[in-house]
Amino acid sequence: DAGVTQSPTHLIKTRGQQVTLRCSPKSGHDTVSWYQQALGQGPQFIFQYYEEEERQRGNFPDRFSGHQFPNYSSELNVNALLLGDSALYLCASSRGDRGYTFGSGTRLTVV
């Protein structure tokens, strides 16, 4: 039983570019949440998708957007990248009981 799969594992982008990160949830899970973790800090909630809609959003600008597909997989898009967007991006899937399963993350470096 595959857990949460994220791709790519590492990514280097230039300021101003756009990036798309992908997440496949654990089998049986229907909800996907995205988190950003900067160095030395706990993860920060970006948003959660359920039934292909954004159900809850954290304190992130509109440059951060997402999508959930009918097979429950999800994408995180970040436009107009800033140096400060360099971080580890974590995807977590869940279903109902609030037990979250995390992927190992995508390390984004903006130069």
Binding site for another protein (CB under 8 A): 3-4, 33, 35, 40-45, 48, 55-56, 58, 90, 92, 98-105
Q: What DSSP string describes 22-41?
A: EEEPPTT--EEEEEEE-TTS
CB of 72 vs another protein, minimal distance in Å: 16
- Give the residue with the Cβ less far from another protein, 9 or 17: 9
CB of 33 vs another protein, minimal distance in Å: 7
- Give the residue with the Cβ less far from another protein, 81 or 106: 106
Q: What DSSP string describes 71-85?
A: TS-EEEEE-S--GGG
CB of 55 vs another protein, minimal distance in Å: 6
Q: Are strands 53-57 and 74-78 parallel, antiparallel or unpaired?
A: unpaired
Q: Are strands 10-13 and 106-110 parallel, antiparallel or unpaired?
A: parallel
